[in-house]
A and B are shown apart, each in its own frame.
Chain A
């Protein structure tokens, strides 16, 4: 039973447009959420986070929105750049001590110039 779901395996966007990556979670055990970006043959790198008490967090071109009632969050990248092409993972940080991050399966973003 997957607790963090990224239902779109891939997304293609043109340079300059907005990329929207979605993530759903199945219960309220998470205190906050993280987005990681991963290039091929590299480890994931932390991108942006959002606390469960907030509904928006912005950092430059990246904005994450959280809708707790829908158990849904999304990462917006605007404007998208070719260098943003990577796999994006959504992860939940559980509120229970002794529990590790729980990741979704990832969405591969391709930004074409």
Chain B
């Protein structure tokens, strides 16, 4: 049973470009969470999704950021018109349901130049 898979591991984008980060949860997991870790900071919650539904996006910036978890395929975190301040490690986690521990992927390190 493969763990949570994130790709790419590293992503470099110029200012103004779009970044797409993908996350395939563990088999049997229908809950996906995205967290961001800025330098010298902890893990900041961004968004919580179940299949085809956004459950909680209270941690997501109001502009330029969006997330989806379609019926088929991976969850996607999309950042439009990236700025230098978006440079961070983005972690995806999945769980089989509510109220259980979450398992994390290796993260995607986004660098905006």
The yes or no verdict on A and B being binding partners is yes
Q: Which residues of A contact B (CB under 8 A)?
A: 6, 31, 34, 36, 41-46, 49, 89, 93, 95, 97-106
Which of A6, A98, A105 touches B48 (beta carbons < 8 Å)? Answer: A98
The secondary structure that dominates the A interface is loop
23 contacts between A and B (CB under 8 A): A6-B42, A34-B101, A41-B106, A42-B106, A42-B107, A43-B4, A44-B91, A46-B101, A89-B42, A89-B43, A93-B101, A95-B99, A98-B55, A99-B48, A100-B48, A100-B102, A101-B33, A101-B93, A102-B45, A103-B35, A103-B42, A103-B45, A105-B41
The secondary structure that dominates the B interface is strand
Complex: A44 Cα to B107 Cα, angstroms: 9
Q: Which residues of B contact A (CB under 8 A)?
A: 4, 6, 33, 35, 41-45, 48, 55-56, 91, 93, 98-107, 109
Complex: A97 Cα to B100 Cα, angstroms: 11
A50 CB, min distance to chain B CBs, angstroms: 11
